[in-house]
Amino acid sequence: MLNIQIRGMKVETHISSITEEQINVMMKQVAKKKSSLAELMLKSHFSKKWDSYNNLGTYKKPFLTDNTEIIITAFDENDYYSDGYSFYREKISNLIQKPIFKNFNIMNNIFFMVNYANYYGCVFETELNELSYKDFNPDYLSISSINIPFPKQTLIDELFLNNLPLIDIDRSKLQLVKFKSVLYKRDSNIITPFLDEDESNSLEFLVSSEKTF
């Protein structure tokens, strides 16, 4: 059996439209509580939890750093609780395909909010029961990636081995290291419902607040 892990950083991103009136209410609470927007969001101080502000989209994916790596370990099928044999280790940056930018449907909203939670640990894991280390060929491993406006990082999108998709079994091995809340304003003269790469670089920051752990 093969156990495949990616270790590094993962981002959970929730994107929501928001009105100017809602922004004013939030800023009044920030001043009243003498706290940051990020801290109040994490404490669910407003009308809903931070991850419920998501009517424009949600992404939960590993993101690429210089230290992101893939580790493949072989286990004896009859002795899963052994330490195994980690026979393949490589930086994801040496394997990943060129990212594709995905235009974002912003639905003609002028103001919107993005909440990010950054986690560190095992950000992807899967197991292949029918393969041994003798069957593995790194030439048949492929990793696709995407860029989206939020966050401005390369996200690991999909993994394939022997042209078959690898499915994350989503074991909980993550530690929250940073939380961030950002309020943006879009140019009101732009009428397209899609946020492309060029426009994403010219958005106006209204508030950028973060908390590290």
User: Does 81 have pLDDT greater than 80?
Assistant: no
pLDDT tens digits, one per residue of 94-120: 999 999 998 778 777 789 899 999 999
Distances (CA, A) of 179 to 21, 30, 61, 114, 199: 24, 16, 15, 11, 25
User: Does 77 have pLDDT greater than 80?
Assistant: no
Per-residue pLDDT, averaged over 9-17, amounts to 95
The count of domains in the chain is: 1
pLDDT tens digits, one per residue of 152-201: 889 999 999 999 999 999 887 899 999 999 999 988 787 677 887 888 88
User: Does 79 have pLDDT greater than 70?
Assistant: no
Q: Which domain holds residue 156?
A: 2-212
Buried b (16+ CB within 10 A) or exposed e, 154-179: bbbbebebeeeebeeeeeeebeeebb
User: What radius of gyration, in Å, describes the C-alpha atoms of the chain?
Assistant: 20
Which helix (DSSP H) or strand (DSSP E) does residue 31 occupy?
helix 20-33
Query: What proportion of the chain, given as a percentage, has pLDDT over 70?
Result: 97
